[in-house]
A and B are shown apart, each in its own frame.
Chain A
Amino acid sequence: MNIVACVKQVPDTETLIKVKPDRSGIDETGIKWVMNPYDEFGVEEALRLKEKLSGEVIIVSVGPARALETIRTALAMGAERGIHIVDPALDSADPFTIASALAAAIKNIPYDIIFCGQRAIDDDCGQVGAILAELLGIPQVTVITKVDVDGNTIKVTRPIEGAQLIIESSLPCVVTAQKGLNEPRYASLPGIMKAKKKPVDVKDAASLGVSIDVKAKITKTLPPPARPPGKIICGEDPAEKARELARLLREEAKVI
């Protein structure tokens, strides 16, 4: 079984995000970069399938030079090799362009399943997996919490509000991973050491024959508005206070 897992390098959730003064994007100095957690679920699932069914896991990532570190992390977890698409033109590209680059790289290699995270925690677009499937002309199952492969079909679980959908699809297909799919493994030390020597192909847009056809552009990046101060309900009588809380939740916060 040939499995591809797409990964994106994103800022750690706890890292301090500063918007550049000209509002063109975020200031990258001092940022701790990690693998997008949803992609990590995909990598883990890919590895588990490989361990069960044998085969190979290939990591594909679009990102600047620093993204190599994230590819190595996936290799340390147990993937066989990586493809790193580096091109300054892709640095702030939209999901469509990124998906095109991924598709161009993936169509040249054998694949049965392609894992993506259901979205990346930095821009939260949640489009790459879907567009990738479309560009490759294969089915897609998205926001998945369980994967079973049986011969040439795949059976997956997609949680929806109040229920779960069990979906079957033929292979090859794109699966986008949701939290709950698995607990990603901690890389072993021999894994980390071996990952340093595993092959990573570096490609640029030209070598993949991708035309950069940007469909969406970020015009401005703004920090979130400062949080308004909290409110403390005072009073002697708990019942009275509870009534006031309910009133505020309904009338001011409009959450109930």
Chain B
Amino acid sequence: MELSKFSVGYEGREVFWNAENFEGLLFAFTAVALAIFGYGIYGRWQMWKALGKPETRNDNLKERIKLLLLNGVLQVKTFKDIYPGIMHGLIFFGFFVLIFGAAFDATEFHIAEPLGVPFLTGKFYLIFSFLMDLFGLFVLIGVLMAADRRYITKPDRLGYKGEMDNTPDDAIVLLLLGGIIVTGFIIEALRIHVTNPPWEVWSFAGYTLSKAFASVDNGTAKTLHKITWWVHTFISLGFIAYIPYSRLLHIITTPANHFMSSLKPAGYLEPIRDFETAESFGTGQLEDFSWKQIFDSDACTRCGRCQDGCPAYLSGKHLSPKKLVQDIKTYWLERAPLIVAAKKAAGKAGEGATVEIPAPEKAMVGEVVNLHELWDCTNCMYCMEHCSSSIEHVPKIVGMRQYKVLMEADFAPELQLTFRNMENNSNPWGVGSHLRADWAKDLGIKTLAEDPNVEYLFYVGCSGSFDDRGKKVSMAFAKILQIAGVSFGILGTEEGCCGDSAMRGGNEYLSQTLMQTNIEIMNGYGVKKIICTCPHGYNTLKKDYPHFGGNYEVYHHTEIIADLIAQGKIILKKPVDGLFTFHDSCFLGRYNNIYTQPRSILKALTGMNLAEMERRYDKSFCCGAGGGRMWMEEHDGERINNMRTDQAIATNAHTIAVACPFCLTMMTDGLKARSMEEKIASLDIAEIVWRAMDIEEVKPPVDVCAPTE
């Protein structure tokens, strides 16, 4: 045993034990590693700012710092998915603590000890040692879990259509991480073996491992220790130097991306404001993205959470949000260095020299991102809600659609027809616009033209006005309002399409025309509060209309009904039968955080048995109709609505309750496709409530062949 200044009661260890003379070399190597790191980051910095349109993401610092702390430091978004969350948390928090530990060590050695005030001693030292070992072990467990996922369990999300997207980099990073910890433990074990102080049981991992060296003599152990010490040092410095050149870069880009998260309402799309002057619309080139949209792709960790709930991907279509982001990144990695070089060359040529950027070799839209992928997206927002790096997929997709629609007018013929119908009759089906209010004919509902002095405008929307199922929902809801004594009116034939499908289908020009027409009429009547039965209208009236001077308080009918029930204004007399399940609509849930209101309505019904689907709340599975997909053919893979219907059927429910006319159509079609329409009903919450109010006798279907007396 070696002599030491430490003893029981004055526990501690010599920080540079057996490595006393290595300090100089260590500094030199550290400097080299930091230089390599700095060089890499500098290069990347040049690439980040090389291209992309301007966008402000440093406003509202308070909110941004909060997001950074929550998602970057506390890993809230990462923990949303338990197992991988724990895996990453072990590595992240483990390293976090270890780095602090190393800083303590360094402070002790370089500052505290020379000043004669060592602090890594006694109880503090013991706890410190214990924690270091504990968190080291955490990292090791995390690394093993990660290796297990990547190389043994292989969940689909770490690949694309059955093919793992593993790269050598993934293995190198895991080896580096594991290597740092393992060599760290060996160093500790050898030191304990040689110095063998009684208190080192606190360094439980190193202590246990030291038993493995029991037969090694001190001399050999010290040599081994020196070797391992250098190996550990090199791996650690290598790790630092490797950061900018590997997936480890996410240590920087991901928290930065959390800091630069969109602070706009969920699903926000920036409107095009310069139709008259701009030459190009939408995203046709990489350069047409904003710098932040490009930076996003450098923050992607390929974790695959987005893909895990993407209805397009899971139904066997081309699109995977992960792949989309990665494809943009790969293309950026090709393009950005050329642009950096071109800028440098122009800089050398002096003031005023033009930057000669080489023409792109492939089409951004069509080749980098193929057209199937582009049009597969339902804008369901699953990807954005669950991305652990706060990446914004949907605006990128809509931007590229805008390019195809507005610039090239090259898109699915059925969508062209839909747009024409919206242009000519202000509804996607192209039904004559004079028929818009026919559903309300016998209900005694006043239009705002007849009486503008009402509290609410009931904005019915296209499905509620023209679709046979939708019309029944409108009637049910209008009757509920009438019974509850709510003061409301409709626009009648003056109402127009809300513009959501046009906007998300890339036709921003048409959508703005539709929105402005509605706004003109609504403002003309001095509308202040609006109720929508369709979450698409609800979302767009609430979030997009303000851009064009339409500022209203917008409510979804489930919010209103929940409130009326709570106030006792509607009485649910008749008990309901059978098992119910509720399908969360994307535009209600993920877009607007309305999860509890529809459920509270259902739970207010006597006899309600609610069986939840596995994918629910913010993990709900899209019905397939969002993002303009309602109007498009579904050529590839399984039909999304059938998949969702299957999930509903799996609950054994007798009624699928929905709160969106698109979802209603999709579930109804799904039930037909599965030949379940006789056994399971799909109903809007308004219809369920209206029936339970038991005011109108439900007429049995008329038997046309019954003998007349």
Interface residues of A in 222-252 (CB under 8 A from B): 232, 234-235
Once the chains are docked, how many angstroms separate the CA of A14 from the CA of B279?
35
- Does B389 lie at the interface of the complex (its beta carbon under 8 Å from any beta carbon of A)? no
Could you tell me if B425 and A234 are in contact, using CB atoms closer than 8 angstroms?
Answer: no
- Does B501 lie at the interface of the complex (its beta carbon under 8 Å from any beta carbon of A)? no
- Does B545 lie at the interface of the complex (its beta carbon under 8 Å from any beta carbon of A)? no
Q: Which partner residue on chain A sits nearest B434 by CB separation?
A: A16
Could you tell me if B433 and A32 are in contact, using CB atoms closer than 8 angstroms?
Answer: yes
Q: Which of A15, A190, A235 meets B432, CB within 8 Å?
A: A15
Query: A30-66 CB contact bits vs B (8 Å, 1 = yes)?
Result: 1010100000000000000000000000000000000
Closest CB of chain A to B82's CB: distance in Å? 46
Q: List 9 A-B contacts (CB under 8 A).
A: A12-B424, A14-B431, A186-B409, A186-B411, A186-B419, A188-B409, A189-B281, A189-B406, A234-B704
Once the chains are docked, how many angstroms separate the CA of A30 from the CA of B416?
24
- Does A155 lie at the interface of the complex (its beta carbon under 8 Å from any beta carbon of B)? no
Once the chains are docked, how many angstroms separate the CA of A192 from the CA of B276?
10
Could you tell me if B276 and A193 are in contact, using CB atoms closer than 8 angstroms?
Answer: yes
- Contact A234/B705 with A12-B424, A16-B432, A188-B408 known, Cβ cut-off 8 Å: yes
Closest CB of chain A to B467's CB: distance in Å? 15
- Name the A residues within 8 Å of B431 (CB-CB): 14
- Name the B residues within 8 Å of A12 (CB-CB): 424-425, 432
- Does B291 lie at the interface of the complex (its beta carbon under 8 Å from any beta carbon of A)? no
Task: Identify which of A14, A30, A187 gathers the most chain B CB atoms within 10 Å of its CB.
Answer: A14
Once the chains are docked, how many angstroms separate the CA of A30 from the CA of B435?
12
Could you tell me if A189 and B509 are in contact, using CB atoms closer than 8 angstroms?
Answer: yes
Could you tell me if B275 and A189 are in contact, using CB atoms closer than 8 angstroms?
Answer: yes
- Does B227 lie at the interface of the complex (its beta carbon under 8 Å from any beta carbon of A)? no
- Does A191 lie at the interface of the complex (its beta carbon under 8 Å from any beta carbon of B)? yes
- Does A23 lie at the interface of the complex (its beta carbon under 8 Å from any beta carbon of B)? no
Could you tell me if B705 and A232 are in contact, using CB atoms closer than 8 angstroms?
Answer: yes
State the 10 A-B residue pairs at the shortest beta-carbon distance, nearest first.
Answer: A234-B705, A14-B432, A189-B406, A16-B434, A188-B409, A186-B409, A186-B416, A232-B704, A12-B424, A189-B509
Could you tell me if A190 and B279 are in contact, using CB atoms closer than 8 angstroms?
Answer: yes
Closest CB of chain B to A83's CB: distance in Å? 25
- Does B84 lie at the interface of the complex (its beta carbon under 8 Å from any beta carbon of A)? no
Closest CB of chain B to A14's CB: distance in Å? 4
- Name the B residues within 8 Å of A14 (CB-CB): 424-425, 430-433
- Does A183 lie at the interface of the complex (its beta carbon under 8 Å from any beta carbon of B)? yes
Once the chains are docked, how many angstroms separate the CA of A191 from the CA of B279?
11
Q: Which partner residue on chain A sits nearest B509 by CB separation?
A: A189
Could you tell me if B409 and A187 are in contact, using CB atoms closer than 8 angstroms?
Answer: yes
Once the chains are docked, how many angstroms separate the CA of A187 from the CA of B408?
9
- Name the B residues within 8 Å of A192 (CB-CB): 509
- Name the A residues within 8 Å of B409 (CB-CB): 185-188, 191
Once the chains are docked, how many angstroms separate the CA of A14 from the CA of B430?
7
- Name the B residues within 8 Å of A232 (CB-CB): 704-705
- Contact A183/B275 with A12-B425, A15-B432, A32-B433 known, Cβ cut-off 8 Å: no
Once the chains are docked, how many angstroms separate the CA of A18 from the CA of B509?
32
Count, chain A residues at interface, CB 8 A? 20
Could you tell me if A32 and B275 are in contact, using CB atoms closer than 8 angstroms?
Answer: no
Once the chains are docked, how many angstroms separate the CA of A193 from the CA of B280?
11
Interface residues of A in 195-224 (CB under 8 A from B): none
- Does B407 lie at the interface of the complex (its beta carbon under 8 Å from any beta carbon of A)? yes
Once the chains are docked, how many angstroms separate the CA of A14 from the CA of B431?
6
- Name the B residues within 8 Å of A187 (CB-CB): 409
Could you tell me if B275 and A193 are in contact, using CB atoms closer than 8 angstroms?
Answer: yes
Could you tell me if B406 and A30 are in contact, using CB atoms closer than 8 angstroms?
Answer: no
Once the chains are docked, how many angstroms separate the CA of A190 from the CA of B279?
7
Could you tell me if A15 and B434 are in contact, using CB atoms closer than 8 angstroms?
Answer: yes
Once the chains are docked, how many angstroms separate the CA of A191 from the CA of B509?
12
- Does B350 lie at the interface of the complex (its beta carbon under 8 Å from any beta carbon of A)? no
Closest CB of chain B to A48's CB: distance in Å? 14
- Does B568 lie at the interface of the complex (its beta carbon under 8 Å from any beta carbon of A)? no
- Name the B residues within 8 Å of A30 (CB-CB): 434
- Does B444 lie at the interface of the complex (its beta carbon under 8 Å from any beta carbon of A)? no
Q: Which partner residue on chain B sits nearest A190 by CB separation?
A: B407
Query: B501-513 CB contact bits vs A (8 Å, 1 = yes)?
Result: 0000000010000
Could you tell me if A188 and B434 are in contact, using CB atoms closer than 8 angstroms?
Answer: no
Closest CB of chain A to B70's CB: distance in Å? 40
Closest CB of chain B to A78's CB: distance in Å? 10
Once the chains are docked, how many angstroms separate the CA of A193 from the CA of B281?
12
Once the chains are docked, how many angstroms separate the CA of A235 from the CA of B707?
11
Closest CB of chain A to B499's CB: distance in Å? 16
- Does B198 lie at the interface of the complex (its beta carbon under 8 Å from any beta carbon of A)? no
Given contacts A15-B425, A16-B434, 12 further A-B contacts (CB under 8 A): A14-B424, A14-B430, A14-B431, A16-B435, A32-B425, A32-B433, A185-B409, A187-B409, A188-B409, A189-B275, A189-B406, A193-B275
Q: Which partner residue on chain B sits nearest A235 by CB separation?
A: B705
- Does B219 lie at the interface of the complex (its beta carbon under 8 Å from any beta carbon of A)? no
Interface residues of B in 426-465 (CB under 8 A from A): 430-435
Closest CB of chain B to A255's CB: distance in Å? 22
- Does B700 lie at the interface of the complex (its beta carbon under 8 Å from any beta carbon of A)? no
Closest CB of chain A to B265's CB: distance in Å? 26
Query: A78-98 CB contact bits vs B (8 Å, 1 = yes)?
Result: 000000000000000000000
Closest CB of chain A to B558's CB: distance in Å? 32
- Name the B residues within 8 Å of A34 (CB-CB): 424
Once the chains are docked, how many angstroms separate the CA of A237 from the CA of B344?
87
Closest CB of chain B to A233's CB: distance in Å? 9
- Name the A residues within 8 Å of B704 (CB-CB): 232, 234
- Name the A residues within 8 Å of B281 (CB-CB): 189-190
- Does B413 lie at the interface of the complex (its beta carbon under 8 Å from any beta carbon of A)? yes
Closest CB of chain B to A35's CB: distance in Å? 10
Once the chains are docked, how many angstroms separate the CA of A187 from the CA of B423?
12
Query: B414-425 CB contact bits vs A (8 Å, 1 = yes)?
Result: 001001100011
Closest CB of chain B to A227's CB: distance in Å? 16
Once the chains are docked, how many angstroms separate the CA of A189 from the CA of B425?
20
Closest CB of chain A to B206's CB: distance in Å? 68
Once the chains are docked, how many angstroms separate the CA of A232 from the CA of B281?
55
Could you tell me if B433 and A188 are in contact, using CB atoms closer than 8 angstroms?
Answer: no
